[in-house]
């Protein structure tokens, strides 16, 4: 008696599964290539809120070529900061392959502080383009200083809002800024040295000569005997003129090289400067000096002195103030100097050169002087609200004990 065995059920061979998988991979690669080349203009993003279709505005092939050849990074973000599109320049900035950039979160390239600043900026109601300075965090590389220009992209007839970003590498700009700052500081040092040389010449030569002429004129006026006449009046007038000239030369010499700063300290130098300002301008001042605790470096004290002179000069020329208050105080960390007037103030926005431009250049010089010695510069002003300048300079670090 014979029996028949049943044939096993037909199964899909591994070779057939492999062919289907390769077809799906090829289809995915073609889709990605079409998106990057501008052959399609939509992207389907699946997230916590479900699937959403984003239209890539301007996804024309020639437009994409223009974006790809830019020397700046270009991005399109969803509302949750997912990168819908990025060009090759941005991929190079963050040192990440382009295929690993698209579809990921933009936040992976920002620090927590920069993300907080970006989110605050986007909450503002201003609809024009916004700009922010950040430090990009590339993969396995040092941070890159960058400026981001942001625009909201609203799809016509749609509630979806995307963000368009242009990312500019600021590395070279920062380097040029540091070079210019170093050059400005070097010129300032040369200027101070030249001021000292001129002050010495004025004191040793011009002032002494004027004193001798003043003495001779005094002798001449006394030698004119008899009742007061034109000759005696002319001699007296000449003597007074020479006396005023000698005083002015002494003042100029003192401002060029403030010996009182070196010998009597910062508080005495500021007091002399404020008294001279009130005498010259007729604007009363109030100076308060608290205990300083310690002295700054010679260079830092000279910086505070120069900033005070520049600020008082601005008050005299532009503020139309009726009073100035100067406060000098010390703490365990450093020295604080504030100069406040009750003048007209101004709108502290960039302006073309002119009267406001000259003020801005003066403020820039003060800021750079303070920054050069490790200090900070704060300006508070508004139209018809006066102006206040605050400078803080830390004490130099204590020298480490020698072994």
CA 151 to each of CA 124, 129, 165, 197, 206: distance values in angstroms, whole numbers, following the listed order: 12, 5, 6, 55, 64
Q: Are 371 and 394 in contact (CB under 8 A)?
A: no
Reference 312, options 286, 268, 273; nearest CA is 273
Q: Where are the alpha helices (DSSP H) in 257-297?
A: 259-264, 266-281
Tell me the torsion sign for CA atoms 160, 116, 393, 316.
Answer: positive
The domains of the chain are located at: 24-169, 170-257, 259-395
CA 400 to each of CA 24, 182, 333, 396: distance values in angstroms, whole numbers, following the listed order: 67, 27, 17, 12
Domain covering 259-395, topology: Heat Shock Protein 90 (3.30.565)
173's CB contacts (< 8 A; 6+ apart) are 145
- Within the chain, which residues score under 70 in pLDDT? 1-14, 25, 27-66, 125-129, 155-161, 203, 224-229, 232, 348-360, 398-403
Q: Are 73 and 89 in contact (CB under 8 A)?
A: yes
DSSP 59: -
CA-based end-to-end distance of the chain: 108
Residue 216, pLDDT score: 77
Residue 110, pLDDT score: 93
Q: Return the CATH number of 24-169, one of 3.30.450.20, 2.160.10.10, 3.30.1330.60, 2.60.120.460.
A: 3.30.450.20
CA 117 to each of CA 6, 86, 130, 339: distance values in angstroms, whole numbers, following the listed order: 73, 22, 12, 31
Residue 135, pLDDT score: 93
Residue 59, pLDDT score: 45
24-169 matches 259-395 in fold: no
Residue 2, pLDDT score: 46
Structure-block tokens of residue 334:
């450093």
* CB neighbour burial string for 297-311, b if at least 16 within 10 angstroms, e if fewer: eeebbbbbbbbbbbb
Residue 308, pLDDT score: 94
Query: What would the DSSP string read from start to end of 180-230?
Result: HHHHHHHHHHHHHHHHHHHHHHIIIIIHHHHHHHHHHHHHHHHH--SS--H
66's CB contacts (< 8 A; 6+ apart) are none
CA distance 61 to 40: 9
CA distance 245 to 115: 61
- φ/ψ (deg, to 5) at 363: -65, -40
Residue 270, pLDDT score: 93
- pTM for the full predicted model: 0.56
């Amino acid at each position: 008696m014979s029996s028949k065995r049943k044939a096993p059920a037909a199964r899909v061979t591994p070779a057939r599964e492999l062919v289907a998988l390769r077809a799906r991979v090829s289809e995915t690669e073609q889709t990605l290539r079409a998106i990057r080349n501008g052959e399609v203009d939509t992207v389907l993003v699946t997230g916590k809120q479900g699937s959403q279709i984003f239209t890539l505005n301007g996804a024309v092939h020639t437009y994409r070529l223009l974006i790809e050849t830019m020397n700046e990074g270009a991005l399109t973000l969803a509302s949750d900061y997912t990168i819908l599109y990025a060009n090759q320049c941005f991929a190079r900035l963050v040192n990440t392959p382009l295929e690993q950039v698209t579809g990921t979160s933009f936040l992976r390239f920002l620090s927590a502080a920069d993300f907080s600043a970006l989110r605050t900026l986007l909450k503002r109601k201003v609809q024009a383009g916004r700009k922010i300075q950040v430090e990009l965090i590339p993969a396995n590389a040092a941070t890159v200083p960058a400026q981001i220009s942001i625009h909201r992209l609203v799809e016509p007839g749609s509630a979806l809002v995307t963000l368009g970003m242009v990312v500019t590498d600021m590395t070279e700009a920062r380097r040029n800024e540091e070079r210019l700052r170093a050059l400005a500081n070097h010129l300032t040092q040369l200027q101070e040295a030249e001021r000292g040389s001129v002050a010495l010449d004025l004191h040793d030569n011009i002032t002494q000569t004027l004193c001798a002429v003043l003495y001779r004129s005094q002798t001449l006026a006394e030698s004119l005997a008899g009742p007061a006449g034109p000759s005696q009046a002319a001699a007296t007038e000449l003597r007074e003129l020479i006396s005023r000239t000698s005083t002015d030369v002494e003042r100029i010499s003192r401002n060029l090289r403030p010996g009182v700063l070196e010998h009597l300290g910062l508080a005495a130098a500021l007091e002399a400067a404020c008294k001279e300002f009130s005498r010259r301008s007729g604007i009363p001042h109030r100076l308060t000096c608290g205990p300083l605790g310690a002295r700054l470096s010679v260079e830092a004290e000279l910086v505070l002195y120069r900033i005070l002179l520049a600020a008082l000069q601005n008050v005299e020329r532009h503020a139309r103030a009726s009073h100035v208050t100067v406060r000098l105080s010390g703490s365990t960390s450093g020295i604080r100097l504030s100069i406040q007037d009750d003048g007209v103030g101004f709108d502290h926005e960039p302006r073309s050169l002119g009267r406001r431009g000259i003020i801005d250049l003066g403020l820039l010089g003060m800021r750079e002087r303070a920054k050069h010695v490790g200090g900070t510069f704060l300006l508070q002003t508004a139209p018809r609200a006066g102006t206040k300048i605050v400078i803080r300079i830390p004490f130099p670090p204590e020298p480490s004990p020698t072994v």
